[in-house]
A and B are shown apart, each in its own frame.
Chain A
Amino acid sequence: MKKGVVFAAALGLSLAPLAVQAQPADILNVSYDIARELYAQLNPPFQAQWQKEGGQSVEVRQSHGGSSKQARSILEGLPADVVTFNQVTDVQALANRGLVRADWQQAFPNQASPYYSLPSFLVRKGNPKHIHNWDDLARADVRVVMPNPKTSGNARYTYLAAYAFALEKFGNDQEKAKDFVRKLLGNVPVFDTGGRGATTTFVERETGDVLVTFEAEVNGIRKEFGADKFESIVPPVSVLAEFPVAVVDKVVDKRDSRKVATAYLNYLWSPEAQDILARNYNRVRDAKVAEKYKAQFPEVRLYTVELFGGWSNIQKVHFAEGGILDQVFEKR
């Protein structure tokens, strides 16, 4: 009985600020952890546009966190109207449970990925170890910093890029490719859980010769640590990393917010939004905007995940427990 009183008191106290039920005049965008400033730039112009076109004001609420954690939260009831993630598998997890329609990748252009990036290199000034391509990372004298492929989508792309590179180099010989990736992972002294931790290790702890991370993160790194200490090396080949977006059908149907949610995601393909995205070092789909920022993005030949038979196959063969990653990711 007493516990009931105490509990009710706790609930009552804490429910107070939430008493007003949210109206569809706002939408919740659940996003990945390094997109805070990006969406802080994208939301105001969208809000202005929505106001101008429909005469209604809309507020875009933002949630940022690790993409898988965010997806788990949505599965457990976080009422996201839209998701803007950096891993296809995390949207797929929502689709598998019926929160997002099964053909979500067809709901928007470009497989529902308004911008993309690729695993790229950051080296110390002057590139003292002469690192230019993936095979340099497997050299015995090079220390590589990258996050843990088990906990970071960023690192999974790095793993795939290295694997794809090796397959090509060794004429599709799986064993040699495995061996190559084993050597590369053996050169990693620290596996931080995320891209940000790896950056700190490389920049502030002065550990390693090369940081492998999304090209788009170079922006943040320069902003935070200055542009003069490092050089960005874009390898001649890499993997296309998608940043998928989707409307969360179950939530928008309940909240009656489908219209604004869809408009919000469509806005990401508008020239205005594409320009903001490109300014933040994301590669964009709009041809004109891409042309404008050409100098910023060197030519790269990009593999896609289709090379590996799509994400579900990649999960099964490479990243699942006991998969190829576990086999090569072993004791030094």
Chain B
Amino acid sequence: MSAGVLTAKVPGRRGILPGFSLTMGLSVSYLGLIVLLPIAALLLKASGLSWHEFVVATTSPRALAAYEVTAVSALEAVAFNAVLGLLFSWVLARYDFPGRRLLDSVMDLPFAMPTAVAGVALTAAFAHNGVFGQFLEPLGIKIAHAQPGIAMAMAFTSLPFVVRTLQPVIEDLDLDGEEAARILGASELQVFLRVVLPVIAPALIAGVTLAFARCLGEFGAIIFIAGNRPFETEIAALLIYIRLEEYDYGAATAIATVVLAVAFLVMLATNALQAWQQRYLDKG
């Protein structure tokens, strides 16, 4: 339907390639059926709530604290992943060394491992008797059953997003610009900051945004390592789970809607930024 409208509106200006109606139609119908229909059904359920009930469910002090814990941890996680993801994707795309394929392989483990297994394994590593915990806790660094544990679990489960979004772009980079900069006497760091980073920045931002969105929704890995104390280490997804356990679909959906709206806005902003940058580049 929307495809038809768009076709009628801007004929000819889209370009000469065929298949717009087909691919657009297919995409929109599939998206509608598999993703948007369930979400609409869910929101319909939540609409049983009055505005007042919605506000009460979503703005209780406990819910606000949960949003804060979730958002702060997600930001920490993606900051960590931006650096680590850049390192991994750069090394994988640029250098050849023994074990590169193995390194490449293990990048996807966080997705394949069920989140609960990841959670148990991370807790085992960071608990005070774990591989890392036994060294960190005497230094006063508490990760398991504390807020940093949440960030750690989020970082683990969302790492592939950053790596796999950056990697194809770095592999596809045109080397001429870098060569030219080197010939002109730029240092490796300068080449990276001035020539490479601006080109891969959109992919980096895209990867980080996806990772952030994923962090907001993550549940399985976090509940094992978090501690789950209200106001301290209770995440929004746990609060949703609690409401579901209480057969309170309305409140559960209301909180889920808030999280979803935030994630959607962040992604929309990123995509808008990229569209703007694209136009800017096209003009220039």
Q: State which of B26, B127, B247 has its C-beta within 8 Å of the C-beta of A205.
A: B127
B62 / chain A contacts, CB cutoff of 8 Å: 326
Bound-complex Cα distance A188 to B232 (A): 13
A201 / chain B contacts, CB cutoff of 8 Å: 145
Bound-complex Cα distance A319 to B244 (A): 14
Check A332 for interface membership: any CB of B closer than 8 A: yes
- Knowing A3-B33, A205-B144 touch, does A190 contact B124 (C-beta < 8 A)? no
A319 / chain B contacts, CB cutoff of 8 Å: 246
- Knowing A6-B30, A192-B223, A197-B223 touch, does A148 contact B228 (C-beta < 8 A)? yes
Contact across chains for A206 and B228 when beta carbons are under 8 A apart: no
B123 / chain A contacts, CB cutoff of 8 Å: 200, 205
Contact across chains for A150 and B223 when beta carbons are under 8 A apart: no
A207 / chain B contacts, CB cutoff of 8 Å: 127-128, 145
Check B43 for interface membership: any CB of A closer than 8 A: no
Check A151 for interface membership: any CB of B closer than 8 A: yes
B229 / chain A contacts, CB cutoff of 8 Å: 188, 190-191, 332
Check A39 for interface membership: any CB of B closer than 8 A: no
Check B242 for interface membership: any CB of A closer than 8 A: yes
Bound-complex Cα distance A87 to B225 (A): 26
Considering the complex, give the chain A residue whose CB is closest to the CB of B225.
Answer: A190
The bracket for how many chain A residues form the interface is 20 to 34
Contact across chains for B242 and A72 when beta carbons are under 8 A apart: no
B231 / chain A contacts, CB cutoff of 8 Å: 330-331
Q: What is the distance, in angstroms, from A148's C-beta to the closest C-beta of chain B?
A: 6
Check A45 for interface membership: any CB of B closer than 8 A: no
Contact with A along B44-83 (1 / 0, CB 8 A): 0000000000000000101000000000000000000000
Considering the complex, give the chain A residue whose CB is closest to the CB of B133.
Answer: A205
- Knowing A205-B129, A331-B232 touch, does A190 contact B227 (C-beta < 8 A)? yes
Contact with B along A229-261 (1 / 0, CB 8 A): 000000000000000000000000000000000
Check A292 for interface membership: any CB of B closer than 8 A: no
Bound-complex Cα distance A322 to B158 (A): 35
A190 / chain B contacts, CB cutoff of 8 Å: 145, 227-229
Beta-carbon contacts under 8 Å, A82-104 to B: 93
Check B120 for interface membership: any CB of A closer than 8 A: yes
Q: What is the distance, in angstroms, from B178's C-beta to the closest C-beta of chain A?
A: 43
Considering the complex, give the chain B residue whose CB is closest to the CB of A205.
Answer: B127
Check B224 for interface membership: any CB of A closer than 8 A: yes
A130 / chain B contacts, CB cutoff of 8 Å: none
Bound-complex Cα distance A320 to B246 (A): 8
- Knowing A7-B33, A68-B247, A205-B127 touch, does A151 contact B241 (C-beta < 8 A)? yes
Check B245 for interface membership: any CB of A closer than 8 A: yes
Contact across chains for B26 and A193 when beta carbons are under 8 A apart: no
A3 / chain B contacts, CB cutoff of 8 Å: 26, 29-30, 33
Contact across chains for A200 and B120 when beta carbons are under 8 A apart: yes
Bound-complex Cα distance A330 to B232 (A): 10
Besides A93-B247, A189-B227, 20 more A-B contacts (Cβ < 8 Å) are: A3-B33, A150-B242, A151-B241, A191-B227, A191-B229, A193-B223, A193-B238, A200-B120, A201-B145, A204-B127, A205-B123, A205-B124, A206-B127, A207-B127, A321-B246, A321-B248, A329-B230, A330-B231, A332-B229, A332-B232
Give B residues with C-beta under 8 Å from A.
Answer: 25-26, 29-30, 33, 60, 62, 120, 123-124, 127-130, 144-145, 223-224, 227-232, 238, 241-242, 244-248, 251
